[in-house]
Structure 1
Amino acid sequence: MLPARRTLARVLSRLLLAGLFAWAGWRLAIVARDAYDYHGGRFFDETGRYGRAVPALERSLRRRPADPRACRTHLRLGRIYARRFERCLEARRHFESAAREFPDDKVCALEARTEIINCPDFFPLERGRAWVYGDTASGGRNMRLEVEGLVSKEGQPLLQNSLFAGNKRISVFRKQYVKKDWAVWELDAGRETAVLRYPFRAGNSWSVARGQKETLSYSIEADDVEVKTKAGTFFGCIKVRELDSRVRRAWKYDYYAPGVGRVKTTVGAPGVESPNTELITYR
């Protein structure tokens, strides 16, 4: 009986070792596969092969959604979809995941909240951009506003506004803006006003207190509007209502086009919406 038991023990030991080696090989294969998807996806992105980068990085996230590198992977995928493919629906999905699901990675979440404002970009601030607005009634002959994108000494984007009455320039002023925390903020004497806030969908609303007696209330009234102006016809626009608490019976509508910015402004009252200014040219 002893030889038989020894033989059985040897067989069982060999089977156990074979199982351990198989398990170890399986684990190594999984690790290698995950490493390939993550590092390969990064490599494909950095070498401009975005069509191969996306599926590799998506597989990496599906297998390891809580990986410490997952926030950065979501951010990388969002930027590829936004900047390379101009597919904002997929980009926003990844930016939102990076911004909301990884509170411990504050820098990554902050970057994601900024990136999501730019896809689509309803408020471009790049240096060199320019817009010319005019009163709708005269097509800009009576009143004209020329806006130019600049950069401050501190490196912050700002817009220089030159207001003309006929051919006479009557004022020049600058406004500074920053994109952060899900919104586009206008800076004025240390005070921040959110002029646009994500999500850019009908029904979204927000308020900004300006002193003890003034509150500006904003709401997105529509999110897929066609707008016709002297500069052309724009699709996919959002319509934003601004209501000043001091003037309850009238309000302002601003229309923003993706990739262009504000294209039209109207004045509203109960049952009435009158054209005020519109975009004439831009670059």
Structure 2
Amino acid sequence: MPKHFPHIFTVKLSALLVCAVFSACGPRFDDAAELQKQGRFLKAAGEYAHFAGKNPSDPHTPDALLRSARIYSLELGLCERSRPLLERLARNYPAFKIPAPDFRRIFICPDYFPAANGSAWTYGDTQTSGRNARQELDIVSERKGVSEALYSLYAGTDLVTRQKRSYSFSDLSFYENQGGFKTNILEYPLEKGKTWRSRGAEGELEFRVEGTGLKIIVAAGEYDNCVKVRRRMQGNPAWIYEYYAPWTGKVLTAVAGPGYENRVTELLKYEEKKR
């Protein structure tokens, strides 16, 4: 027997005793919770996921998966990491019920129309950067899943009209309610080629996601990973393109038809006001 064997054995035995007494040899749910409490979100999300992977039968594992997905999505905006965790949770732990609003907030990532209380958008005509025409949309309240908004249209400095609107989700559909019409303007997940139908003030509408992952430059700045949605009245030879940026909302509107596309309005400013 080598002379150093007793020393190695003692060290290994001591390490095993430390693991047994302090449970320090593997990921712990409480450690992840403490990291989350400290605001160390990236580390906490990773620890929750690591715990779930190492302890599939632990009663805390479904909650760990949910917490990890929630942090990645809502705190960090790392959507590509949150969705697989939710899918794993739904597949492996079907008895664990995720509240629908909670699931939607995590799954809809990125959010292409963050209609939170205090959000405000200012749009202007592209030709004069808003000097001739300007639109303002302000979310003034949020209650029971419905965001109430005030829409204002200006010609120069003169107020032309002011209307109330509201926004809400139903399952994975995002609706705009105005003038007595509840229109499904976004149908998640937003993937290229996806189509749906709805009804608006102009009549029966056909929607189609024409592009994803686009870079759009407007007066308010440069936006990556945008989606391009075609909004077309049934039977009309022309249509509207609406471009949405993640965590911002609509940034550009264009009128289009066979062989042409012209910008009409674009985002001048977006604010997330303190609640």
Question: For the superposition of Structure 1 and Structure 2, which TM-score range results when normalised by the shorter chain?
Answer: 0.7 to 0.9
In 2, Cα distance between equivalents of 1:200 and 1:174: 27
CA contact (8 A) 1:113 1:180 kept: no
In 2, Cα distance between equivalents of 1:256 and 1:165: 24
User: Is 1:255 the equivalent of 2:243?
Assistant: yes
Q: Which amino acid is 1:226 matched to?
A: K
Q: How does 1:150-189 map to 2 (within 5 A)?
A: 150-151=140-141, 156-188=146-178
- Corresponding residue SS for 1:73: helix
User: Is 1:48 the equivalent of 2:39?
Assistant: yes
In 2, Cα distance between equivalents of 1:228 and 1:195: 22
Q: Which amino acid is 2:82 matched to?
A: A
Q: Rg bigger for which structure? A: 1
Going from structure 1 to structure 2, the CA distance change for 1:133 and 1:75 (only over 3 Å counts) comes to same
- Corresponding residue SS for 1:44: helix
Q: Which amino acid is 1:206 matched to?
A: W
Q: What is residue 5 of structure 2 aligned with on the other side? A: none
CA contact (8 A) 1:34 1:60 kept: no
Q: What is residue 218 of structure 2 aligned with on the other side? A: 229
Could you tell me how far 1:157 is from its partner in structure 2? 1.6
* Farther-moved stretch of structure 1 (257-266 vs 107-116): 107-116
Going from structure 1 to structure 2, the CA distance change for 1:276 and 1:96 (only over 3 Å counts) comes to farther
Could you tell me how far 1:55 is from its partner in structure 2? 3.5
User: Is 1:75 the equivalent of 2:66?
Assistant: yes
Identity of aligned residues (%): 32
CA contact (8 A) 2:113 2:247 kept: yes
Could you tell me how far 1:89 is from its partner in structure 2? 1.1
The runs of 5 or more residues in structure 2 that have no matched partner are: 1-19
User: Normalised by the size of structure 2, how large is the TM-score?
Assistant: 0.77
User: Is 1:219 the equivalent of 2:212?
Assistant: no
Number of residue pairs matched by the alignment: 252
CA contact (8 A) 2:220 2:267 kept: yes
Could you tell me how far 1:66 is from its partner in structure 2? 6.6
Could you tell me how far 1:237 is from its partner in structure 2? 1.0
Going from structure 1 to structure 2, the CA distance change for 1:38 and 1:78 (only over 3 Å counts) comes to same
Q: What is residue 12 of structure 2 aligned with on the other side? A: none
Q: How does 1:10-21 map to 2 (within 5 A)?
A: none
In 2, Cα distance between equivalents of 1:178 and 1:56: 34
Could you tell me how far 1:102 is from its partner in structure 2? 5.1
Q: What is residue 263 of structure 2 aligned with on the other side? A: 275
Partner deviation per Cα, 1:236-269 (whole Å, 9 max, x = no partner): 211111122142x111110011222111000111
Going from structure 1 to structure 2, the CA distance change for 1:34 and 1:214 (only over 3 Å counts) comes to farther
CA contact (8 A) 2:42 2:72 kept: no
Identify, as 1 or 2, the structure richer in strand.
2
CA contact (8 A) 2:219 2:268 kept: yes
Match of 2:128 among 129, 138, 142: 138
Q: Which amino acid is 1:269 matched to?
A: G
User: Is 1:85 the equivalent of 2:76?
Assistant: yes
In 1, Cα distance between equivalents of 2:163 and 2:57: 48
User: Normalised by the size of structure 1, how large is the TM-score?
Assistant: 0.75
CA contact (8 A) 2:27 2:50 kept: no
Going from structure 1 to structure 2, the CA distance change for 1:96 and 1:163 (only over 3 Å counts) comes to farther
Could you tell me how far 1:103 is from its partner in structure 2? 5.0
**What's the RMSD between the two structures over aligned residues?**
3.2
Identify, as 1 or 2, the structure richer in helix.
1
Q: Which amino acid is 1:259 matched to?
A: W
CA contact (8 A) 1:146 1:163 kept: yes
CA contact (8 A) 2:82 2:106 kept: no
Q: What is residue 16 of structure 2 aligned with on the other side? A: none
